[in-house]
Amino acid sequence: PTLYDRLGKNQGISDIVDSMLYDIASNEKLIEFFIETDLDRFRTKLIEMLCEVSDGPCEYTGDSMKQVHESMAIDKSHFDALVTSLVAAMDENNVEVGAQNDLLARLVPYYPEVIPSN
């Protein structure tokens, strides 16, 4: 099975993203970044990206990670907070730990694009 299958396909990934959105809304460290965000768009684009990155049948149609995040002054603590939120969302949706770790490993390469390097 692909990682996409192990995450529960489109339904599983949508559920993970919805759990994350709930968590972000009540997370003091993260909410400030999303105050002006179109959450419908964010939800759709993040589902697409997680589907593509896990070898699912999707193509990401959003903006480049660098473009989207570079003006936000995101630091390591914000990145870690989002990862914590993602792990909690995967736990909540009964994703096995192996699949959780595989997804996290595939997101690591985005780190330099999301954190401004100066």
Contacts with ligand HEM, residue ranges (CB under 6 A): 30, 33-34, 36-37, 41-42, 45-46, 49, 62-63, 68-69, 74, 78-79, 82, 107, 110, 114
Residue nearest to ligand HEM (CB): 62
| Structural tokens at position 66 | 């660098």
CB of 45 to ligand HEM, least distance (A): 4
> Using CA atoms, how far apart are residues 23 and 26, in angstroms rounded to an integer?
5
Of 39 and 97, nearer to ligand HEM (C-beta) is 39
Write down the number of H helices and E strands in the chain: 7, 0
Of 12 and 82, nearer to ligand HEM (C-beta) is 82
> Using CA atoms, how far apart are residues 112 and 44, in angstroms rounded to an integer?
23
Q: Compute CA 21 distance to the chain's CA centroid, rounded to the nearest angstrom.
A: 10
CB of 18 to ligand HEM, least distance (A): 15
Of 18 and 33, nearer to ligand HEM (C-beta) is 33
CB of 41 to ligand HEM, least distance (A): 5
Cα torsion 108, 111, 112, 114: sign: positive
